[in-house]
Amino acid sequence: AHCLPILPPPGTEQDKDVAEMYLKRFYNLTEQRGRVFHRGVSPLGEKLSEMQRFFRLKVTGTLDSDTLQVMKKPRCGVPDVSQ
Amino acid sequence: YTTFPGNLKWPTNKLTYRIENYTPDMSVSEVDSVIEKALQVWARVTPLRFTRIYSGTADIMVSFGTREHGDYYPFDGPDGTLAHAFPPAAGIGGDAHFDDDETFTFQSSNGYNLFLVAAHEFGHSMGLSHSNDPGALMYPVYSYSDPNSFSLPQDDVNGIQFLYGKNPDVNPGDPDPEPPTTPDACDPNLVLDAVATLRGEQMFFKGRFFWRIYPQSGEAVQSLIKNFWPEVPDNLDAAYESQETDRVYLFKGQKVWAISGYDLVRGYPKSISSMGLPKTVKKVSAALYEEHSGKTLFFVDKHYYSYDEARQTMDSGFPKLVEDGFPGFRGKVTAAFQNSGFTYLFKGPHVFEYSSRSKRLYRVLGNSYFLRC
């Protein structure tokens, strides 16, 4: 029997790309490859929490619909954290 | 508000600006007046003064570009990033760039209003970074408001005056209007405009804002009403969720809007008389839906009406005095909602908790019971 790859629900991979691009642009997320987890939290999770804290969303460190909704809103191109 | 590291600011209050090119979306004179008006937003509350030059290098160079446009921060096509600007410094410092893949507008709420975007970007040019106050001009997310009645929010005034001080030329006898502030969930005197549930969430409306409370975490997230429903007015009178229609109805004056999920229902706003209210009723002060009876109660100050959602008719024998239906309540109802078998009637900053069935008064609470600080 050939096992087929279980495709992620539509949009998930794309949403993750949106999130990574957003966090790189506005929250100083650096390249993901080989990055060390701090206290079990990935750099992406850390930056997600930072963004959720800034926008007074539920701080989960995971990409929930409210967080994604904010990421898709038109905005200023200046980062939210000083670079 | 926040500033850039080292509180970057201009060493002088007299600054020059130059408009290097124009967007095809608007006329030259419209862009000229918008840019001047956007700079005046900051001049009005500080000693900063702006002079336009037409050649050479100005402190603030204003330009429109797309994608890669000469700095290391390419734009991204329509929507997404609208513009960016650089904090005070020589060279590119202070410059403001606008993404011309956007549609910029002069007055209308379509496209992106150039005045609002430019006023925000010039905040960066003066040394402000982003604010996480959803009512602040320096909040990073764009939201439309009428540019003709724009008034710089208090948070932004605090930030820019932290850097440059107040405007010395303001005539004490003719001060500027009070800057708008963002309501504070922890204010013990907070009087809410309206309250409603929405598919398990709760929404508390005040002025231009509303707080959304998630059932599982109880965290209150504050947003601008216009960020979700640009067509819905601020300063609502009442709101309720109908389990019958799975819609939330928002009231202001003699109009009612309907939202389904987070979408505005086509065909609204309608007149409130479409919900059976007599034409003598000029506004509703609160509304709630009773799950057990299928009735919607419309409060009009000290009285209330009962509306049968299923039959879509007003029940006879109304209006009644609120105190007749809810013993122990006196005066005007300012907001109301039902949740988990309890009916909550708001009277200013106080909340009267009743059993929905027996109408027995259990407790008198404060707003902070819901809007956890």
Tens digits of residue pLDDT in B319-332? 999 999 999 999 99
CB contact under 8 A, B85 and A58: no
Beta carbons of A76 and B222 less than 8 Å apart? no
Looking at residue B197, what is its pLDDT?
94
For residue B108 the two structure tokens come to 């209308």
Question: Tell me: the pLDDT tens digits for B210-254?
Answer: 998 877 666 788 899 988 888 899 999 999 999 888 999 999 999
* C-alpha dihedral, B195 to B196 to B198 to B202, nearest 10°: 40
Residue B346: both structure tokens together: 């708001």
In tens, the pLDDT along B248-281 reads 999 999 999 999 987 899 999 999 999 889 989 9
pLDDT for residue B359 is more than 50? yes
Q: How far apart are CA B194 and CA B203, in angstroms?
A: 8
Least confident among B49-58, B217-226, B271-280, B351-360: B217-226
Q: Which two tokens stand for residue B177?
A: 């209007």
Distance CA B4, CA B42 (A): 17
Option in B4, B99, B132 nearest A55 (CB): B132
Interface of A with B (CB under 8 A): 25-26, 54-58, 66, 70, 73-78, 80, 82
Interatomic CA distance for residues A78 and A83, integer angstroms: 10
Q: Which residues of A touch B80 (CB under 8 A)?
A: 74-75
Above 80 in pLDDT, residue B177? no
- In contact, B339 and B202? CB cutoff 8 Å: yes
Whether B244 is catalytic: no
Contacts of residue B94, defined as CB under 8 A and 6 or more positions apart, other chains included, come to: B10, B15, B59, B60, B61, B85, B86, B87, B88, B125
Determine the residue type at B96: A
b/e per residue, B274-312, with b = 16+ CB within 10 A? Answer: ebbbeeebeebbbbbbbeeeebbbbbbebbbbbbebeee
Question: What is the dihedral sign for C-alpha A63, A66, A67, A72?
Answer: positive
d(CA B143, CA B138): 11
Local confidence band at B312 (pLDDT 50, 70, 90 cut-offs): confident
Closest Cβ–Cβ partner in B121, B219, B221 for A76: B121
**Does the beta-carbon distance from B142 to A74 stay under 8 Å?**
yes
**Which of B130, B217, B227 lies nearest to residue A80, judging by beta carbons?**
B130
| Residue to substitute from A69, A71, A75, interface B, most B β-carbons within 10 A | A75
DSSP string across B83-147: EEE--S-STTTT-EEEETTS-EESSSSSSEEHHHHHHHHHHHHHTB-----TTSTT-SB-----G
Distance (Å, rounded) from C-alpha A59 to C-alpha B219? 10
Cα angle value B315/B317/B318 (rounded, 5°):
75
On whether the CB atoms of residues B160 and B39 are closer than 8 A, the answer is no
Which of B121, B178, B231, B241 is an active site residue? B121
Share of chain B above pLDDT 70, in %: 99
pLDDT at position A1: 39
Q: What is the ipTM of this complex?
A: 0.82
What ranges in chain B are assigned the alpha helix state H?
28-43, 114-126, 154-164, 225-228, 322-325
Whose CA is closest to B223, among B141, B156, B153, B150? B141
Task: Determine the 3-state secondary structure of B225 from DSSP.
Answer: helix
What per-residue confidence (pLDDT) applies to A33? 52
Instruction: Output phi, psi for B316, to 5 deg.
Output: -75, 165
Contact A76 B83 (CB under 8 A): yes
Shortest CB distance from B141 goes to which of A25, A66, A70?
A: A70
CA distance A16 to chain B (A): 16
Percent with pLDDT over 90 in chain B: 78
Looking at residue B105, its pLDDT comes to 95
Average pLDDT score over chain B = 93
In this predicted structure, what is the pLDDT of residue A2? 47
Instruction: Return the beta strands (E) in B199-302 as ranges.
Output: 201-206, 209-213, 220-224, 238-242, 247-252, 255-260, 263-264, 270-271, 286-290, 295-300
At residue B156, φ and ψ (nearest 5 deg) are -70, -40
Closest alpha carbon within chain B to A53: B132
Question: How do beta strands B201-206 and B194-198 pair?
Answer: antiparallel
Q: How far apart are CA B167 and CA B305, in angstroms?
A: 52
Q: pLDDT-derived band of residue A56, with 50, 70 and 90 as boundaries?
A: confident
CA distance B93 to B70: 14
Judge: B5–A25 Cβ closer than 8 Å, yes or no: no
Pairing, β B270-271 against β B263-264: unpaired
Q: What is the pLDDT of residues B121-158, one digit of tens each?
A: 999 999 999 999 999 999 999 998 889 989 999 999 99
> Between chain A and chain B, how many beta carbons pairs sit less than 8 Å apart?
64
Whether A9 has a pLDDT exceeding 60, the answer reads no
Mean pLDDT, chain A, integer: 80
Give yes or no for B341 touching A (CB within 8 A). Answer: no
The vertex-A64 CA angle with B371 and B259, nearest 5°, equals 60
Please tell me whether the peptide bond between B319 and the residue prior to it is cis, using omega within 30 degrees of 0.
yes
Mean pLDDT across the stretch A4-29?
78
Residue A66: its chain B contacts at CB < 8 A? Answer: 221
